[in-house]
Amino acid sequence: MCVCGVGLGAARRERVRTGIDVLEATKFAPLRGKRIGLITNQTGVDAEGRRTIDVLAHAEGVKLVAIFSPEHGLEGKLDVDKVASGNDEATGLPVYSLYGETRRPTAEMLKGIDALVFDIQDAGVRFFTYTTTMAYAMEAAAKAHLGFIVLDRPNPLGGDVIEGPVEDTDQLKFTAYFRMPLRYAMTMGELAKMFNAENKIGADLTVVEMRGWKRADYFADTGLKWVAPTPNLRTVGETVPYPGLDILQAAGVSVGRGTDTPFEMFGAPWMDGVRVARLLKARKITGVKFGAVKFTPGTDVYKGQECSGVSVRVTDGRKFRTVAMGLEIAEVLWKEYPENFQLEKIMTLVGSRETVEGLKVGKSVKEIEGGWSGQLEKFEVMRAKYLIYGGIIVD
């Protein structure tokens, strides 16, 4: 069965139970007797659709005293440079923005808190800022001698396919907290364990593990309801091409933001969508189909301007490789439109000088991928120490 056009979502044994559901089943054992600060947004919900905020606010033996929100705010609707702090209407609790004047919890914010709890759905790609928010909060918790509890959730891109280059050391920043591939195939709980050990954070870390999640599960396989983690990742199907397409935007390409189908197409006023679609089809990229399209972005690059472009429809999510597709597109656009496509700027998210230079000098994507092998092998060895879940599902 095909769900969201990505060739995933086969009937499964039972619905995955996320960390918040498992926590509820344990009657909140790790939190009892503690004053809690909760890092969350609209994706932090349990199996009944109740906000983790409300669940913890009414949990016996638990005292929720503060809320912390990441990029896009507590409701995930804001697409701005800074998000203000405020209050949660339902509970009256303070909401401290970790994407405003500070991106780390301050000592003042942490007063009266015994432990921080993290419950946010990730997108499974290195440059998604929620991973850095978690890591910065872990560092703050360690410094303040607070416990740190991660309520784990599925990696929407699965946990068994690693893709893309490891970023260069000088590229570490808010969109790249740790040197790892673009697609790292780990859950937030597994990342927390890796960050804590490899970066020597020293946090008193607890991961409340999921039940029923297998490493080969994409989100569409979990039986869970998708809650958009950002204004532009509206459907679970959009998460699959997202990493490969989003690297193009900095180079002067719209990826459909501000339309009804972001990350399902790309284009620009200077592009000939019919020609680019034809060139991409000729490359026979596995698991995806391309077609010509015209659209007008409502936000970001080329806002309000008609763009000629290409639709992207993933037909087999298990065989599709999103980073490879993104680089194939970049190679075509660089060859066809060197005056318009600013190849150098994909460095912002790709993070690998060798990869960008390879495209510049005409190396094929296969050659470029071959250059990643040494770093990826080292990453896999390190990553293996922190994996929680097993059980590969075979098609």
Dump pLDDT digits (tens) for 254-271. 999 999 999 999 999 999
The pLDDT assigned to 337 comes to 98
Tell me the per-residue pLDDT of 129-173, one tens digit each, with 9 for 90 and over: 999 999 999 999 999 999 999 999 999 999 999 999 999 999 999
Per-residue pLDDT at 83 exceeds 80: yes
Average pLDDT value for residue range 73-98: 95
Per-residue pLDDT at 1 exceeds 50: no
Is 368 a domain residue? Answer: no
Ramachandran class of 276: left when φ > 0, alpha when ψ lies in -120 to 50, beta otherwise? alpha
Per-residue pLDDT at 12 exceeds 70: no
Structure tokens at 76: 């995930």
Residues 158 and 258 in one domain: no
Residues of the domain holding 333: 241-362
Per-residue pLDDT at 6 exceeds 60: no
Average pLDDT value for residue range 108-118: 98
Residues 45 and 189 in one domain: yes
Would you give the distance in Å from CA 168 to the centre of its chain? 19
Residues 173 and 296 in one domain: no
Structure tokens at 281: 């089809």
Per-residue pLDDT at 72 exceeds 70: yes
* Average pLDDT in the chain: 94
Structure tokens at 261: 């189908």
Q: Which residue has the tokens 């659709």?
A: 49
Q: How far apart are CA 285 and CA 326, in angstroms?
A: 11
Per-residue pLDDT at 393 exceeds 60: no
Residues 254 and 340 in one domain: yes
Structure tokens at 89: 């209407």
| Residue at a domain's end among 173, 208, 230 | 230
The pLDDT assigned to 13 comes to 56
The pLDDT assigned to 104 comes to 97
Residues 196 and 337 in one domain: no
Name the pairing type of β-strands 163-166 and 181-183.
antiparallel
Residues 156 and 289 in one domain: no
Is 376 a domain residue? Answer: no
Would you give the distance in Å from CA 325 to the centre of its chain? 18
Crossing angle of helices 322-336 and 353-360, rounded to 10°:
40
Whether residue 179 contacts residue 172, with contact meaning beta carbons closer than 8 Å, is answered with: yes
Tell me the per-residue pLDDT of 27-56, one tens digit each, with 9 for 90 and over: 999 999 999 999 999 999 999 999 999 999
Per-residue pLDDT at 363 exceeds 90: yes
Residues 23 and 160 in one domain: yes
Residues 207 and 272 in one domain: no
Is 7 a domain residue? Answer: no
Q: How far apart are CA 244 and CA 254, in angstroms?
A: 13
CATH of the domain at 311: 3.90.1150.140
The pLDDT assigned to 14 comes to 80
The pLDDT assigned to 4 comes to 41
Residues constituting the chain:
395
Per-residue pLDDT at 17 exceeds 70: yes
Whether residue 146 contacts residue 204, with contact meaning beta carbons closer than 8 Å, is answered with: yes
Of all residues in the chain, what percent carry a pLDDT higher than 70? 95
The pLDDT assigned to 8 comes to 61
Residues 297 and 226 in one domain: no
Within 10 Å of residue 143's Cβ, how many Cβ atoms? 15
Q: What is the pLDDT confidence band of residue 395, given thresholds at 50, 70 and 90?
A: very low
Tell me the per-residue pLDDT of 300-354, one tens digit each, with 9 for 90 and over: 999 999 999 999 999 999 999 999 999 999 999 999 999 999 999 999 999 999 9
Backbone torsions φ then ψ of 182, nearest 5 degrees: -55, -45
Residues 187 and 279 in one domain: no
Residues 79 and 181 in one domain: yes
The pLDDT assigned to 391 comes to 64
Residues 225 and 249 in one domain: no
